Copies of this chain bind each other. A is one copy, B any other.
Amino acid sequence: MPVVDGINIPEDMKGSLKASNKRDSVLGVRPASETTEAEHATIEAHPKPLWTRIRASCREAFSEFFGTMILVLFGNGVVAQVVLSNNQKGDYQSISWGWGLGVMLGVYVSGISGSHLNPAVTFAMCVFRKFPWRKWPVYAVSQILGGICAAAIVYGNYKSAIDAYEGGPDIRTVPGYSDTASAGIFCTYPAEFMTRTGQFFSEFVASSILMFVIFALTDSGNMAAGPLMPLAMFFTIFGIGACFGWETGYAINLARDFGPRLVSYMLGYGTEVWKAGNYYFWVPAVAPFFGCTFGGWLYDMFLYVGPESPTNMPYLGLRRFVKPGAEKHHNDHSPV
């Protein structure tokens, strides 16, 4: 794991921030590299414990895994508490709180890997911030596994309450098929009046806003949030939930929706988890990629001046497909 991972961000991310370094850090205020170096020193000085060596090569994956797990633990947990208690122990606003602070704390937990927590965010980072494409599968799988584990823990924690709510330990139902459905704890189901186009558009808009705001908050050429980034993400997610969360439940995240949906299917909620809303399940899995890409493009096109964005390359970076290597002279910041 050479210096490619090495993010060294100077004070306040100002000044001599090199493009090649910045690209790995989406939400991360403190860079992972310093830790890696410290770790490196440790490894040099002493005989390496086996686990330390194994972990060193998996740390980013662990980081995304646990970050997403924290996110979904709080997110699914709050929906469980509100739904199963019949709004006695929380209301719709609690759900905004739960997802918002879940993202905030997930961002803190996964600073080592840049706090993506969302395959679509990682995708947009690859497209617009030169995050290495080879890492995308690792990140996406870690995020989905984190969502799966969290959903399983929430199920275990609320099993008695689900039994009481659904009417028995063998009854597990999905919204639209029952009045006491609890499947909504784990993943999103659309409001009944929504058309397919409306479903997609709603997820698309919310994802676009998410990515646009993330790029604004991390742009040191704008009013970057810096150490307040996790707090700003709380407000962003709270806002998306309060303002665009009704129609489709603001999944805006494959890992947060598909992972727990799979868990609910395995736990016996039946094939309705896939069939509900006319096979709605693929919308929150696919739309965020389009939305995040569009939102990121919008920000970069009109407000971002960093050279690593394709929008700031000649011919919008498309020349690489025609003439590979031609962009090197424009964007390489190394002195040689």
Question: Within 8 Å of chain B (Cβ to Cβ): is A74?
Answer: yes
Copies per assembly: 4
Whether the Cβ atoms of B161 and A38 lie closer than 8 Å is: no
Residues of B within 8 A of A105 (CB): 213, 216, 232, 235-236, 239
Classify the secondary structure of A's interface with B.
Answer: helix
Whole-angstrom distance between the alpha carbons of A159 and B80 in the complex?
A: 29
Question: Within 8 Å of chain B (Cβ to Cβ): is A21?
Answer: no
User: When the two chains form the complex, which single residue of B59, B160, B213, B234 contacts A108, counting CB atoms closer than 8 Å?
Assistant: B213
Whether the Cβ atoms of A81 and B305 lie closer than 8 Å is: no
Partner-binding segment picked from A43-51, A171-179, A253-261, A285-293: A43-51
Whole-angstrom distance between the alpha carbons of A107 and B212 in the complex?
A: 13
Chain A residues within 8 Å of B, Cβ to Cβ: 3-4, 6-8, 11-12, 14, 28-30, 34-35, 38-39, 41-42, 45-47, 49, 51-52, 55, 59, 62-63, 66, 70, 73-75, 77-78, 80-81, 84-85, 88-94, 96-98, 101-102, 104-105, 107-112, 115, 153, 156-161, 163-164, 191, 193-195, 198, 201-202, 205, 209, 212-213, 216-217, 220-228, 230-232, 234-236, 238-239, 242-247, 298-299, 301-303, 305, 307, 311-316, 329-330
